[in-house]
Amino acid sequence: MNDQLLLKNIRNALIRLEETIIFSLLERSQFKQNQPAYAPGALGGVFGTESLVEYMLHETEKIHAGMRRYSSPDEHPFFTDLPAPLLQPLRYTENPLAENSVNVNGELLQAYTGTLIPALCAPGDDAQYGSTAVCDVACLQAMSKRIHYGKFVAESKYQGAPERYDTLIATGDRQALDAEITDKAVEKALFQRVANKAASYSGMFLETHLAEAFQTTVTDIYRDIIVPLTKRVEVDYLLAAKR
């Protein structure tokens, strides 16, 4: 099996991404909710119908696309109208995934704006829209990467039992596929580990009640957004993969 598909390697990558996600959420939590930064078209002019955060994300993705970020199989853009890479293509170690175009960033952005920000940040407006948007881009990119790693997880599981999966895929039974990919013990350990990390990192510099609130929020984000979207990617990928 391709090294990138060894569950041990995937798990190490996902565990390391927990730090990236928790750090970026901690950074975002410094600022208030700043709802005007998420209002479509609220800033008018050059932003058009985009919110300030969407504009920042879009412009950032244009630069990163130039750096060939989205030619890597573990990166997925939020926007589709991005320029071609300015850099020569990398000789990537062989892409171990089957051909697919699964991308749940639309759902992620919606959950981020609608659920995550109100849970993570104090209500109100501190006018730090630029800093807010910079943090949002970092959070969204880290979470997107983590969620779309589901493709590697799914491919690894598939290759471990192709016949069993082929049968489920043929029926198109999403619920059965979801049950097949789910490991409740792993999920439980994940939530516990993330809760511990969130408490430890934030506890080093936030007051106790703020660190406790952050711990709860991060655990909720994993349980309500990151894990469900990762599993959604796994199932979508299994159903969409052209073999």
Residues that bind a second copy (CB under 8 A): 15-16, 19-20, 23, 26-27, 30, 43, 45-47, 52, 56, 59-60, 63-64, 66-69, 86-87, 90, 127, 129-131, 133-134, 138, 197, 200-201, 204-205
Q: Smaller CB distance to a second copy: residue 133 or 229?
A: 133
In the bound state with a second copy, the residue whose beta carbon lies nearer, of 56 and 108, is: 56
Closest approach of a second copy to the CB of residue 142, in Å:
10
Judged by beta carbon, residue 89 or residue 172, the one nearer a second copy is 89
Q: How far is the CB of 90 from a second copy (least distance, A)?
A: 6
Closest to a second copy by CB, 95 vs 200, is 200
99 forms beta bridges with 242
- Give phi and psi for 242, each to the nearest 5: -90, 110
The angle formed by the CA atoms of residues 122, 123 and 126, to the nearest 5 degrees, is 85
- In the complex, the smallest distance separating the C-beta of residue 80 from a second copy, rounded to whole angstroms, is 19
**Nearest residue (CB) to a second copy, 66 versus 96:** 66
Nearest to 2 by CA among 106, 58, 73, 59: 73
Q: Cβ 7 to a second copy, closest distance in Å?
A: 19
Query: Residue 156 pairs with which residues in a beta bridge?
Result: none
Q: Which is nearer to a second copy, 101 or 205 (CB)?
A: 205
Instruction: Go through 115-132 and write b for each residue having 16 or more CB atoms within 10 A of its CB, e for each that does not.
Output: ebbeebbeeeeeeebebb
What is the residue whose two structure tokens read 């779309």? 148
Residue type, 243: R
Task: Say whether 99 sits in a helix, a strand or coil.
Answer: strand
Tell me how far apart the 2 most distant CA atoms of the chain are, in Å.
56
Residue 242 DSSP class: B
